[in-house]
Amino acid sequence: GKLEQFNDFVLGGDVSAYSVMEGNLEALRGVRFVVTLDADTILPPGSVSRLAGALAHPLNIAKFDENNGRVRSGYTIIQPRVEISPLTGSRSLFTQLYAGDTAIDIYSRAVSDVYQDLFGSGIFVGKGIYEVASFHRSLQGRTPENALLSHDLFEGVHGRTALASDIVLYEGFPSEYREYTRRWHRWVRGDWQLLPWLAAQAPGQNGTRLANRLSWLDRWKIIENFRRSLNPFSLVLLAAAGWFVLPGSPWVWTVLALAAPGAFVFTELVTGLA
């Protein structure tokens, strides 16, 4: 999409995708790193230089497998930890209840996740830094036009992502339930658009089919998003089955269906109102 067009310009000077151009374009030629953010993202002082330093470290420089084009070591993306902005978290009663603990505490939460700890590869959520040349190489010819609503995970599994949990960015949170569900619906649609990348042959540009570079771990990350999106439906199905199909008291099945999300909601309420 737009990132590919921007990378084409930075690396090769291709401006065909742009109708309006302002300023000194030559100053952008040869840019090594690009930071991607949303409109509501807050960058604490020094975070960009720390991200650039982490990605420029010799041990993190991406190295490609010449046979299949995959990133076999190093990274093209560094993903910082993303927290809810304290200002946004107190904007409405809904955000206080659902955004959880929005206190600024850099050190006690500076932990990695299972993917990074066990497999050395994190998940890209769209806010971070990437190295233009290697990132572009990892995706070249692999992105079909107008096919991916949510491209963060797609880019992250192709380019290989490292999680830097000691570097933190802050983002906004929906102020009302309707806005929250619209965002969630957009994310779920984007997740399910990645279904073709579970196969041995994956879509490429101009309708081509290419050998899928993704590892089984990368495909599991996609499947995990599918599973998470099906949780609400599965719980409703369990409650309905408890009343019409499953043996025993239907109230027991209803309580079980409510207990799983209920525990999470309770902790969010406690931390959000604390």
- pLDDT tens per residue, range 121-169: 999 999 999 999 999 999 988 888 878 887 899 999 999 999 998 899 9
Tokens of 232: 């609400």
CATH code given to domain 32-230: 3.90.550
Res. 24: pLDDT tops 80: no
pLDDT exceeding 90 applies to what percent of the chain?
46
Res. 273: pLDDT tops 80: no
The average pLDDT across 190-197 equals 92
The average pLDDT across 175-204 equals 90
- Which residues 6+ apart lie within 8 Å of 253 measured at CB? 238, 239, 241, 242, 243, 246
What is each CA distance from 182 to 176, 188, 195, 222, 249, in whole angstroms? 10, 10, 21, 21, 36
Q: How far is it, in rounded angstroms, from Cα 7 to Cα 18? A: 12
The domain locations on the chain are 32-230
Q: What is the pTM of this model?
A: 0.84
- pLDDT tens per residue, range 33-88: 999 998 889 999 999 999 999 999 999 999 999 888 899 999 999 999 998 887 77
Q: Which of 55-69, 104-118, 197-211 has the lowest mean pLDDT?
A: 104-118
Q: How confident is the model at residue 274 (pLDDT cuts 50, 70, 90)?
A: low
Q: How confident is the model at residue 237 (pLDDT cuts 50, 70, 90)?
A: very high
